[in-house]
Structures are given as C-alpha cells and as structure tokens.
Structure 1
C-alpha cells in the first residue's frame, strides 16, 4: 500500500468514526426525549418515531413464523417425520388465527438446529420401523417381534395401510432400543407363561396401546377442560357417548372442539375409515376406563363453563380461544400430563349388581350407565 492510499484509508476511517459518534449522540438524545431511533441500513439515514400506543417497537414485533413445509426443509427431515415430531411434542407449532395449518416460529427452528447432533439427531428421534426392521433392530425373528407387540410389550406410534388395506403398524426405533435394554430376557428363551396364555386367547394390544398413547399426547397439549373431555370422548362410539353425556348440546360441543390431527386427516377414504375404527375402544374394560375418564373430565368442564346453546356460539368460541390460545403449541411449554396407568379390570371395584343396575342417582357409577357394547 502506498502512502497516499494509507492516508486515504485513514481519512475514510475517521469519517466513519465521526458518523458513528453522531448517531450514538442522536440515539441518546432521542431516548431522553422519549423517542425511538430508526436507522436505514442501506442509506445510513437515521429517523425518529415517537414511542407509544399503536407503534411497534423492536421488542414488541411479532415473531416470524414459517409454513410446515419450509420448516421441514430447514430442519432436514421429511414431511412425514416433521408431522410425527409435532405429534410427539418435539417441535412446537402455533395456530393460525381464523384457522389454517399450524406454523412454526423461526426461534423454534433455530433452537432445534442448535441441538447437538443436528440434523441426524432429530431424524433419529422420529425414525420409525416396521415389523421386519424392528425385529432386525432387536436381533430377533419377526414372528417373535409380532408376539411381543401383540402382548403389549412394545407400542406402535403410527400406522399406514398397505395395498391390501391392511393396517401396518410402525414403531419408534428409540423406544425399541429402550425396550431391549430394559427387558433383555424377553428377547430370547421361552415366552413367559402369562404372555403365552394372553397370546393364545387371541389378544392384540397394539390398537389399544396406540389409542392410549395418542390420547395421552393430545391431553398433554391442552389445558382447556372441554377439549380434554373431547379427547376422552373420541374413544367412544356414539351410543357409548350418549349414555355418558345425555345433553345433546354438550355432545355437539365435544364433537366441535375435538382436536384433529395437526396436519389434517389421512388422505384416502380407506385411511380415514381405518383411523375412525382404530380410535374407538373395543374392549369392555377399556370402554369402562374411557367412560370413567370422560365423566371426570366432564365434571371439570361443566364447572369451568357450560356448553354453548343456540345463539351463544360466538361468545363461547371466543372464550375458548382465550383459554386455549397457547395450547395449539406443542412441546415443553405445557404442563406435563402423567402417563395413563393400566386400565383396571372390568369388574374391579364394581359389583355385578351395580354393573347391571339402571342409573338412579348422581354418583359416578350411576352416570356411567354401564350399558353398551361388551358389558352385557
């Protein structure tokens, strides 16, 4: 560099330093006078705006959100993996005012990208396997894997329909690895007698375990008492629901606020029909368990607010939005919901005479009715 070039560079640096000092001085003066400073990065001009109501400052600016497809691309996962991660509560989403598909905050994407092992870590946490791949992961025969799944040792997280419209269950690879570490004795040797008798009776716990986990995760994403009641009601068919909830307005409201899959129902008609069938409890003790839970949640919902009547929909919908506005966001921001314990036997704590008696009081058992599918 020549002497002239050095002097020219020094002069430019001094000019820039003078401008920076001037900007800082104006900023301090603006803060004293109750104004905010707005700089134009492209031109170097600085302007001022009065602070107060109706003016957005940098701290009050709304967070930027992106669509699910773009979020999946930025996280390096497939769309199906993204939707499963949302269902599992690993990715937080926010609802869109007036309806529409949920969106993702850019801060949430940045948080996930900063996690150790990104992007492979997130993809691995939502990796699912079928029977053959799951058996290979556990180093057992596929037939033994199927027996373990039917006996309820491992629970499916999702499913799809094959070309024959048969349900194909999928399992989280992480959960299978945890099961192998927790129960190594079940992977080799003879099947325990209790499990063998369960399998010989034709039991298959896969649909029931899928329902239980699905309900638990939906409950974990909402605090609204009516939505929680609707989640429990989703496992009962219309006849069972009418026996527990005799008010038609309450039944209609439960259907209206029932949470749907975050990104819509399965695409094909066959998949929707399969989803509808799998969501319904089909065992007497499971039905009783869901009726008990629905009754308890319904008591809390009625105490919180009544179900809307004709002409009250607008006000009630607004109240619901205020109460559960943050509940559309999955993940760690919500109060955790304890995992559901194993449902009690059908006759536990309930005598045969009480089970068959017509409801004559206002107690829990009377309101349950104990009529319906599989209960005699």
Structure 2
C-alpha cells in the first residue's frame, strides 16, 4: 500500500433536477411538473436525495419536440379558454361548472378567489367534437340549465379526481397510494375507515399536501385544504371505499410499521402485573415463599 489516499468518485446523478430540465426544455417548472403528471415526461427516482429526476436521454428525446411539448402542457384561465373555444366567457364558465371540462390546476388570486386553469389542448379537442356543438352555440339544454339553477359546480370535484390520478401515478408503493387517496378525505373520515391506529397514523403521514398552499393557518392554506377535501356525500363515499381497497392491498404487500414493543422484565411473564406486587406474586408462584 502507498501512503496516498485514493479518492472515491461519487456516482453521477442519473438525470437532471426538475429546475434544470425545465430550463433546458424552455418550460416553466410548473409546466414540467404537469408534463410529468400527464405522463408526457419520463422520470427516474433520485437515489441521492429522494424525489425524481429527468434522465438526460429524455431531455434529448424531447428537445426536438419542445414546442409541441410546451403547447401540450399550456394551461389557460377562463378568458383565454373561452377565446380558444370561440365562445363568451360566461358560457365557458357554465360549461366548466357542469363538469364538461376538467381543471388541471388552480391558484388563489389577490382577492382570495379561486382561478381555475385548463389544458388548452383539451379545450381545443372539446370544441372540435361534433357532439359538443350544441353546447357552444344557442340555448343551453333545459336539463343542464336546471342543474345550474340548482347550484351545480363540479370544478373542484373534477379537479380532485384528476389530481388524485396524478398522485397515484407518482406514488412509490402501495402504502403511498393509500396516502394519496387519503389526501382527499377529512382526518375524521380516515379514522372511520381504518380501525387500526398504526395503519391510520402511517396513512396520514403519507398524505401529500395540496399543490398550492401557504404557511399553516393562512387564508391560502385554508383554501387549499378546503379544495383538497371531498365535500359531497357520494364523493366522500367513493374516496372512503377506494381508501379501504388501497389499504387492503398495502396490508397484503407489507404490514404498516409499528413501534417496537417494550421488553418485558426478566422472569416476569407477559400479562402479569408490574411493580412490587407483581414481582411478589411471581416470587410466591415460583418459589413457594
């Protein structure tokens, strides 16, 4: 052996961070994340620090089609959505409230109102469908008008369903999938589904946070929490049933982690009273004293 120390080279990362990949593809980070959610950008696990990276080969694959990629992840608000579909903004809002188009994202404006965003590509396809022509011009069909008069607004619910799909796609394993479903339920509803306290605690620890939120307790955080939580009875039942199935699958794969049991004192059997009285009973039973 020589006296010189041999440096151990660190393995090179498998890919780029989301920020670096977004810059190379000319995307905003939020657009790149949306592309990942939609399955249009492939990622690999970041073994160095958790999370994901975009492989260099994937960036090279997408570089020649960066313009079409940017267009496929472009999201627009109500005014631009209506312009893309060549209809008034008020009509587009009615279409969105009826759940005929699904938001892909949202953010709170300075007045703390929710601004819904939609995929421009999906809106163009919707407007091009011949079956949808009657919704874009003329009088709204009577059944749909009745639903609107009754207060129908499926935007938040449809967004929750879509976002749940995003979270399930990103989940690393069966317990993480259960946590993704639980993210849309009030903690009390989770307690009602899961009787085992260790499973409840594990699932709650794996619930992803809302995608838009501020510091805990701020209006933005409270709004995000409200939008993330199912609030209609049939929707709540759907998430409860899905959570029960997800936990059953996770349980079959591996049990939820449990704290290590405290060791029992030497010579005292499990289930015997502790302390001086328990020790005296044990001594009398084993020695006859």
TM-score by length of 2: 0.79
Name the SS of the counterpart of 2:170 in structure 1.
coil
| Structure 1 Cα separation of the partners of residues 178 and 14 of structure 2 | 33
1:281 aligns with 2:230: yes
1:102 aligns with 2:49: no
1:69 maps to 19
Mind listing any 5+ residue stretches in structure 2 that lack a counterpart?
A: 1-7, 262-289
1:124 maps to 71
> Which residue of the other structure, out of 122, 128, 132, is the alignment partner of 1:175?
122
Contact preservation (8 Å) 1:127, 1:172: yes
If you compute each CA radius of gyration, which structure gives the higher value, 1 or 2?
Answer: 1
Residues 1:169 and 1:282: Cα distance change in structure 2 (over 3 Å): same
Q: CA deviation at 1:85?
A: 1.6
With 147-156 and 66-75 compared, the bigger mean Cα shift is at 66-75
1:227 aligns with 2:176: yes
1:209 maps to 158
Aligned residues: 249
TM-score by length of 1: 0.62
Counterparts in 2 of 1:1-376, with a 5 A limit?
A: 64-97=14-47, 99=49, 102-114=52-64, 118-182=65-129, 183-222=132-171, 224-259=173-208, 266-267=213-214, 269-311=218-260
Contact preservation (8 Å) 2:76, 2:117: yes
Contact preservation (8 Å) 2:22, 2:28: yes
Mind listing any 5+ residue stretches in structure 1 that lack a counterpart?
A: 1-54, 313-376
| Structure 1 Cα separation of the partners of residues 46 and 29 of structure 2 | 19
| Structure 2 Cα separation of the partners of residues 170 and 134 of structure 1 | 9
Deviations 1:175-216 (A, max 9, x none): 101111221221011111221111111111000000001112
| Structure 2 Cα separation of the partners of residues 221 and 80 of structure 1 | 15
Q: CA deviation at 1:81?
A: 1.5
Structure ranking higher on relative contact order (CA contacts 8 Å, 6+ apart): 1
Deviations 1:4-61 (A, max 9, x none): xxxxxxxxxxxxxxxxxxxxxxxxxxxxxxxxxxxxxxxxxxxxxxxxxxx99xxxx8
